[in-house]
Structure 1
Amino acid sequence: MSGPTAYVARPETKRVVALVVALTGLICTMLVLFAWPAANSAPRDLPIVIAGPRASTGPLTERLVIQQPSAYAIHLAPTRADAVRSITDHDAYGALVTSPHGVEVLTASARSSSVAQLLDQVGARAAATAHQPLRMTDVVPAPADDPHGTGITSAVLPSVLAGLACASLSTVLIRRRGDRTLVAAGFSIVGGLAMAAVLQGWIGTLEGPFVANAAVLALTLGAISMIVLGLESLFGTRGLGVGAVLTMLVGNALSAAASAPEMLPIGWGALGQLLPAGAANTALRSVAFFGGNGSARPLAVLTCWLVVGLGLQVGAAQRRRRPAESTSSERDTEVTELQHAHAAV
C-alpha cells in the first residue's frame, strides 16, 4: 500500500492564484490612492493672507491657529490691495480682510473652487465671532460658462489618456522607433491646439491667450507620450504598463485637480505636482487665469518629463546599436580571416 501522494499545483492554478492576488493588490492600491486622500481632504499649510489693522488681524490669526493648527500658512498684509496682489500673483489662495466695516473674504475660484468655498466658510465663522457683517469677493473668478472650473478638472484625465494612447498605438502601428517619436511630437502640437480650441472656444472653460493655453496642453501631451515611449523603448511592452501606472493611476490620483495640493495628506500633494497630471493642471490654471504667475515650476516639471522621455529613447537606441555594430564587426573579421586562409592555400 503506497503512502499519500503529495499534491502538485498545476501551472494554470498558480497563474489563477497569482492573478487573483495581483488584482486584489491593484484594487487596494487604487483605494489608497483615490479614496483615502478624498476621505482625508483638509487644508495643510494652505497659503492665505490676513489683511487689515494689527488690532484685528492678530486675534483672527490666533483663532485660526487654535481652531486648526497647521491648516493655514498665514501671511499678514497691511492693506486689501496687498492681499489682492498676493492672490493674483499666485502666492495665496485667498484672504480675509478685516476692517471696522466688517470681514471680507477674497477668493480665487479659478484656481480652486473647493478652496474658495472653504475660505467662504472660514470667513463666515470669523464674521459671526466678531459680530460683524460679511462680504465675499471672487478676485479671480472661473469663467461664466464654467463657474465651478470643472472643465479643467475633467480635462486632466483625457490629456493623460491621450498621451498614453499616442504612445501605445504608435508602438503597435509604427515600426520605426524614430517615426514613433515624430508621431508623438506631431500629435502633441496638433492635439494641444485642438484641446485648447474645444476648452476655450467651445466649452468656455479657459480664458487668457489661446496660444499660451495650447502650448501648455501640447507640452502636457508631449511629456506623457514621450516618457511612455521612453519606458517602452527600455522595457518593451512592460514599459507601457509602467508608464500607465505612473502617469494615469498615480499621477491622476495625486493631481489634486479638483481641490488643491495642500488639501491632500502631507507629502502626497507635493508628489502629485512632480507628476505630469498635477503639473499640467497647475500650469494651465496659472496661464489661463493668472497671467502665467505660478507657472514656472509646473512648466519645468513637464519639460523635464519630456526631456527624460526623449533621453530614454536615445539611450535605448544607442544600446541597441552597439550589439548590431559589434556583430557586424565580428562578421567582417571572419570574412577577412577566410580570405586570408584561401589566399594561403
Structure 2
Amino acid sequence: MPLPGGAKKYVFMVMFPFLIVMLLVSVYSGAMHSPSPQDMPVAVVGQSAQAEQLASSLEATDGSPLDVRVVSAVAEAEQLLHDREISGAFALPTSADGDAVLYTAQAAGAAQASIVESIFQPVADAQHLDMDHKDVAPLPASDGMGITVLFTAIGWMLSGYLVVTVVSSGAPELASLRRMVPLMAGWAAVMSTVVWLLVGPVIGAVDGHAWALLGLGWLSVFSVAMAQTLLARLFGPLAVLPGLALFMFLGVPSSNIMMSIYTVPGMFTFLHQVLPLPAAGEALRSVLYFGGDGAGGHLVVLGVWAVAGLLLTAGIDLLRHRRKKGRAAAEAEHITADSVSSEAMASA
C-alpha cells in the first residue's frame, strides 16, 4: 500500500539524518579504527650484504607491512622521500662505532613518520644500534601535526558542495548551466580568497604562497561545484547524500593527511588517486612543503572533475530538452489530429 504524501515527507525527514550518521560512523570507523601498515614503501640505505639481508628480513614479515627497497646512498633516499615515493629510510652505520639514522619527512604525513619510527626502532634495538632521526621535510612550528592542509582542503570541498545544494533547492531558477557556471566561477574566487585570508593573514597557519593557494582554491571549489551540479541533475534533492559521501566521508580517510594511506583499507588507496579532497590536499601539501613538486597529477584530477561535471551536466540538459521538445511536438500533433477529426465529423 503506497504511503500518502505527508507520510513520505516524514519518512524522508527521518531517513536523511539516519543515513548521514550511518555513513559517517561506518566509513570513518571502518577506515580508521585499526590502522596498520600494508605495503608501506621504505628504504634501507647501504652497500653491504647487511643492507640486503635486513631488507629481506623486513619484507619477510607476516602480513606484508612493508615494501622494502635497498638504495646505496643517503642522497638517493632523501630524494625519494622528497618525491613521496617512500615513507622512510633506515641508514645502517657506516663505521663500527657509528649510529643508524632514520630519515623521514614529517611534511608528507606526521602520522606516517611516527609509524615508520615505530617500525625501525625495534630493528635498531635488535641490532644493538643507537638510532638518530633526521627529518628531511619538517613541518612548521605553527603546525606540528600538518592538519592545516586537511582543514583547508575541507573548506574548499564544503564551499563547492554546499552552495550547489542550497542553490538547487532554494533558487532553482539559477540552476541552469548557463547561469550556474559563471555563478560558481565567481563563488570559487570569493571562497578561495576567504579561505586564504583565514589560514594565512588572520590565523597565520600558512606563510606565503598566496597566489598558489588562491589558484588551487579556485580550482578545488569550482571542480566540486560542477560535480555536485551533475549529482543534483541525477538525484535531485537526494544529491546531498552522494555529495557528502564523495567529497567528505570517503575523502577524509583517503586523503593521506590525517592517516597514512598505507594504513587504511585498500579501497581508500584507490580513492586517494581519484577523489577531489585527496587531490586538493596533496596538491596543497606539495605547494607548501615540497616546492610544488608532485602537484601536477593532483591538479589533473581536479580538472577532470570540473570538466566531467560540466560536460555531463550539459549532456543531461540537452537530452532532457530534446525529450521535452519531442513530447511537446507529439502533444501538438495529437491536438492537431483531434481537431481535424472533429472538423471532419462536423462536416459529415
Alignment of 1:1-345 (within 5 A): 27-67=21-61, 69-99=63-93, 100=95, 101-171=98-168, 172-173=170-171, 175-176=173-174, 177=176, 178-206=178-206, 209-326=209-326
Contact 1:233 1:312 in 2 (8 A): no
Q: TM-score normalised to the size of structure 2?
A: 0.83
CA shift in 2, pair 1:73/1:313, >3 Å: same
Q: Quote the sequence identity (%).
A: 23
Q: TM-score normalised to the size of structure 1?
A: 0.84
Shift of 1:72: 1.7
Contact 2:155 2:195 in 1 (8 A): no
Q: Secondary structure at the match of 1:104?
A: strand
Shift of 1:136: 0.8
Counterpart CA distance in 1 for 2:163 and 2:20 is 24
Counterpart CA distance in 1 for 2:102 and 2:48 is 17
**Residue type of the alignment partner of 2:144:** P
CA shift in 2, pair 1:125/1:246, >3 Å: same
Shift of 1:29: 4.0
Shift of 1:233: 2.5
* Cα root mean square deviation, aligned: 3.4
**Residue type of the alignment partner of 2:160:** G
Contact 1:230 1:311 in 2 (8 A): no
CA shift in 2, pair 1:72/1:203, >3 Å: farther
Unpaired runs of at least 5, structure 2: none
Shift of 1:195: 1.9
Shift of 1:330: 6.5
Contact 2:20 2:241 in 1 (8 A): no
Counterpart CA distance in 1 for 2:35 and 2:281 is 18
Shift of 1:140: 0.6
Counterpart CA distance in 1 for 2:232 and 2:136 is 45
Counterpart CA distance in 2 for 1:289 and 1:215 is 17
Contact 1:90 1:290 in 2 (8 A): no
Q: Secondary structure at the match of 1:47?
A: strand
Q: Secondary structure at the match of 1:153?
A: helix
**Residue type of the alignment partner of 1:141:** P
CA shift in 2, pair 1:209/1:23, >3 Å: closer
Contact 1:149 1:205 in 2 (8 A): no
CA shift in 2, pair 1:70/1:200, >3 Å: farther
Give the stretch that moved more between structures: 11-20 or 176-185: 11-20
Contact 1:146 1:204 in 2 (8 A): no
Q: Deviations over 1:171-198 (max 9, x none)?
A: 2236232222212111222322332333
Contact 2:81 2:105 in 1 (8 A): yes
Q: Number of aligned pairs?
A: 335
CA shift in 2, pair 1:205/1:137, >3 Å: farther
Shift of 1:205: 3.6
Contact 2:199 2:205 in 1 (8 A): yes
Q: Deviations over 1:189-239 (max 9, x none)?
A: 232233233324443444673322322222211121110012213332233
Unpaired runs of at least 5, structure 1: 1-7
CA shift in 2, pair 1:298/1:217, >3 Å: same
